Structure 1
Amino acid sequence: MDYTINNEEVVFDNHYKMLKANVSYDTFSGDNITTTRFAFHRGDSVAILLFEKDSSSILLTKQFRYPTTRHDEGWIFEIPAGSMEKDECPLTCIIRETEEEMGYKVYQPNQISNFYTSPGGSTERCYLFYAEVTPRDKTSKGGGMDSENEDIKTVKLPISEMDSWLSEKIFDAKTIIALQWFMAHKI
């Protein structure tokens, strides 16, 4: 099956971009559809599930997320994550983001997955990593970058409370994916 992207243009360009294109693609019945589509383009991202061995806890962030206010949330729990720079390696990015947001140095994070965050509307692909840390790996305060107006709090989720948090407190898809991976592979 084939597709063709025609006349792709940026129709909004601020912190993120909105793309518009005329697309043609084959159908499962052998026909062809030609239509206009839009895509939110923010680049690729990384995220990491940090397991602190000494406390038997998952390290989460809590931070304000404007889009979640549409559903009366605001501050949500997430695994640490960030946007990749142009041509940046996912491994390099996750090491940097972990230190910026959490204050922890990670040396050999393992990539456990990559996935599209919302393939019907966004170009973003997320690279998901896992690493184990101890309090000795905490080398700076974390909390995010002041220059990016970040205000990030570190929260420890005890493994014993993971089930209840998944059903009551975790609403972020990448965090749900990571915690379910942990339950299937580490517990």
Structure 2
Amino acid sequence: MTGYRITKVAPLFEGWRKILGFTVQKPDGDSMDREILEADDAAAVLPYDRERRTVILVRQFRVPALHRNGEQALLEAIAGLLEGGDPKDCAIREAMEEAGLRISSVEPVGSAWSSPGAMTETMHLFLAPYRQSDRVAEGGGLAEEHEDIEVLEIGCAELARMLDRNEIHDLKTLSLAQALRIRHPDLFEKA
């Protein structure tokens, strides 16, 4: 698949995010128009406690979920925008901001386009070990970012049941939970 060429880019809207309009010339000479959400890259982390066989997730309000399905909040892995920084540093920073969790190391899972047909964001995914003593603050997010975050610590057995019942509706969280299950199956074994 070669021969596609962007011939025009125009800003359509600029607010919290930016929407750009593209005109693309196809290999056959025809053209098509597309609107793209220009978004900064982000990092997501799923912390796990090996000793207690738990993970930390957050629940927060999401406008698209409310609009589309009437869901007031989604259960998610901790995540945030890179803001020009390193993905690992972002994961560590967001763990503290959102969950009051001090993590010192992360295990890279991979990086992927969040939604390649509609936006420019790449999501960097990490797992991170923690201990109960690493919960050093309340978390809940930043007030100036209008975050109203509930921090949840759940058992890996419950996480497995949620995966099996298709109850994880966020793609980054689904990916990280499955990665944890594959990389650390002992966390999901019966005690």
Shared fold per TM-score greater than 0.5 = yes
What one-letter code is carried by the residue in structure 1 that aligns with 2:35? F
Q: Secondary structure at the match of 2:173?
A: helix
Distance 2:109 2:26 in 1: 32
1:75 aligns with 2:73: yes
Distance 2:32 2:166 in 1: 40
Distance 2:46 2:160 in 1: 16
Pick closer, same or farther for the CA change 1:161–1:6 going to 2, 3 Å: same
Bigger mean CA offset, 159-168 vs 12-21 = 159-168
Contact 1:118 1:124 in 2 (8 A): yes
Distance 1:54 1:36 in 2: 53
Query: CA deviation digits over 1:112-157, x for unaligned, max 9?
Result: 1111111111111100011100011122211100111111111122
Q: 1:37 aligns with which of 24, 34, 38?
A: 34
Aligned match of 2:96: 99
Q: 2:140 aligns with which of 132, 137, 143?
A: 143
May I ask how many residue pairs the two structures share in their alignment?
182
Q: Secondary structure at the match of 2:158?
A: helix
Distance 2:101 2:90 in 1: 14
Query: CA deviation digits over 1:3-61, x for unaligned, max 9?
Result: 322221211100011110111244xxxx4542111111121111001102232111100
1:164 aligns with 2:173: no
Q: Secondary structure at the match of 2:96?
A: helix
Contact 2:105 2:129 in 1 (8 A): no
Bigger mean CA offset, 166-175 vs 55-64 = 166-175
| Structure 1 unaligned residues grouped into runs of 5+ | none
Distance 1:181 1:126 in 2: 15
Runs of 4+ in 1 over 6 A off after TM superposition: none
Deviation at 1:74, TM superposition (A): 1.6
Distance 2:124 2:81 in 1: 10
Deviation at 1:163, TM superposition (A): 2.7
What one-letter code is carried by the residue in structure 2 that aligns with 1:74? Q
Q: Normalising by structure 1, what TM-score?
A: 0.91
Distance 2:34 2:170 in 1: 26
1:186 aligns with 2:184: yes
What one-letter code is carried by the residue in structure 2 that aligns with 1:157? I
Aligned match of 1:6: 7
Aligned match of 1:15: 16
**Greater fraction of residues in strand:** 1
| Structure 2 unaligned residues grouped into runs of 5+ | 186-191
What one-letter code is carried by the residue in structure 2 that aligns with 1:9? A
Q: Normalising by structure 2, what TM-score?
A: 0.89
Contact 1:77 1:169 in 2 (8 A): no
Q: 1:52 aligns with which of 33, 49, 55?
A: 49
